Chain A
């Protein structure tokens, strides 16, 4: 087995983890009927919050927490505007991204050029030493494990619990949920905040572990890929997980392919993840009936209890 395989697979894991966080969060948001296009903005604010707190305090725990809070704060802004002031969800989401990119650049001005030691790895004696499997499954940082746990928890929550039932109900038919007596906007706000915190964690992973530096615009479109992943996964958390690894894999493969001197212009290779997004979206939407059954019927529609 060539010895570059394990490091390559490891980089796939690190490339995929931010996508897993952001996509899982957005699935919960969209299941509740809210379309938040501001993932990119929430991620980048999460990234600078985490990096800033990490560098200032030196504590990884506080840094991760700050990242989640940063994302959730942005999400609160979005939720307040769209749910309570009934602004347009698409426009507000786009504005959130633009705002997030600018705001994070402002906050991050003083952090350019500083470094963060990275997240501690959770080594497990013996297990981590097993060749091949050991380094792949063990010895990652806490966020990688957290992302896997999040997938399992969100899947369980959405399909098996009453909370999940409520979230789906609100996204499916908000008028019915209201007339039965649930507070549509409160449930949606909770989901939006959760989505923001998850996007913030995804951003934290980028600035704390993936490249432990602050670079302006370092999310580089990952928020949009996460958005496509949600549709790709037809709103199912475990599918989003595999989707994220598929996209992470393609990103890394194109890097390695360039390294091996494959004779394709690097620009084409760099296009691969985005091309794959388009292909996947086309394939999924060709079977329209199946995509629609999982899509929340009230997605993107504001709710106002009138009459």
Chain B
């Protein structure tokens, strides 16, 4: 391989935004047919670099060589002409259009004309990516949506395929299928630049890895010769402290109980909840796995009181039936929430940290004084959160949207946990959070349970669920599988349940329970 000309070579790429250097003197090489991993924590500068390669953004300095030739890629159209294809983390798809229209819009005019419909069928067959060009995108599963992006790239005969976090929304089985496709492409000489947080996948798939931290390339390695842990430490530049389950304690009485909950979704593309029952006991962590869009949002809304149920006893905290009560009453009953959307849902983006602390803690932390805000108390409370939960911020006067995702999530967790909730419900607690913060957040969930709280974690991240959960359940199309001790599950089993393929198996377990 050493004799070959690299497909893509970057030299000294530097890009600064006001206040931050996103890329500092970044150099890397991608060979033909190589699956090259780009690793780094959030904010390490991976996205900026990829946007530069794809022509979305310009660099301040540095050169790009495509197959040995120095050039500038002014826009994504030029990138596509060269043979660079990109699969975005947040899909660049249009829900109200068909698969064919979505593909047509992402490729050049010449390619889009003629028998596009047939060519989509051909390519999807050839690479084992079944796809019906006439369906509307909003009717597809997340895995199918991703196939659209991949097929869109493949139609252009790419020489370099960039994939940004492609597996974060897939079931383990779908991941395997994707890897088969990617390996086949690599054999055909297509280079792949692969960005992921999932280090085990990188070890399984990638030939080479470049590791970035704070905008600079700090290391590279051959993933097959490393362990996920060693790669994580290279990314962080520090030792990774993985969460530890405190000594097993016998869980107490059921504290958060949901009984026979059914709810038709009010959203056009929403999921109906069907007969959901669950119990979270004091001192245990119940994990709910599932692919996004299978009712997690709806379940969270019902638990937090944003959606009220006609039957008050459908949801109860301790002995109190709260199905018909709003979030305030549930908070007073000792419930804490960590929603998925941090900005706008977990915190008010434009308000300062101490104001955000006040908003959820005004009652339980006694921050209200005869109808007036106790500013000093609120600021102290916020400072307390910042110091105990390691939030990196210049001060609590700063607004919530000035914090990075991981830091804000730590702040929100700290805010909820310091109120000593009897129950805490968290949806996607470490989505898009870097490894160090994620480990910290998971540890605090475990500690909370050890102190006798009932903890419910709804997540797509299986690794996370296995790390924190005592019992596990899977949600699929609004139905919840009966929970079982986490150590009884294998990843394959969960994958099948997530894909809704194991109903007979479930029935058997119901009979057991």
Contacts and interface: CB of A to CB of B under 8 A. Distances in A.
A198 B169 CA distance: 45
B76 A180 contact: yes
Nearest to A162: B109
Interface stretch (A62-70, A167-175, A276-284): A167-175
Given A166-B105, A181-B75, A173 B92 contact: yes
Contacts, number: 56
Interface of B is mostly: loop
B56 A176 contact: no
B55 interface: yes
A176 B97 contact: no
Contact of B94 (A162, A173, A288, A292): A173
Interface residues of B, number: 24
B91 A176 contact: yes
A124 interface: no
Interface in B59-92: 75-77, 79-80, 88, 90-92
Interface in A137-188: 162, 165-166, 168-169, 172-173, 175-177, 179-181
Contacts of B96: 168, 172, 293-294, 297
A172 B97 contact: yes
B106 interface: yes
A176 B103 CA distance: 12
A267 interface: no
A179 B88 contact: yes
A179 B95 CA distance: 16
B93 interface: yes
Contact of A173 (B75, B80, B95, B109): B95
Instruction: Kindly state the interface size class of chain A when it binds its partner.
Output: 20 to 34
B290 to A, nearest CB: 24
A54 to B, nearest CB: 41
B171 to A, nearest CB: 24
A286 interface: no
B41 interface: no
A294 B80 CA distance: 31
Given A176-B94, A288-B268, A289-B268, A181 B101 contact: no
Nearest to B86: A179
Contacts of B101: 165
A205 to B, nearest CB: 33
B109 A176 contact: no
Contacts of B10: none
A162 B104 contact: yes
Contacts of B77: 181
A175 B92 contact: yes
Interface of B: 47, 55-56, 75-77, 79-80, 88, 90-97, 101, 104-106, 109, 112, 268
13 contacts: A162-B104, A168-B96, A168-B97, A169-B94, A172-B95, A173-B95, A176-B88, A176-B93, A177-B94, A179-B56, A179-B88, A293-B268, A294-B96
Sorted from nearest, which 4 A-B pairs have the closest CB atoms? Answer: A181-B76, A176-B92, A172-B94, A289-B268
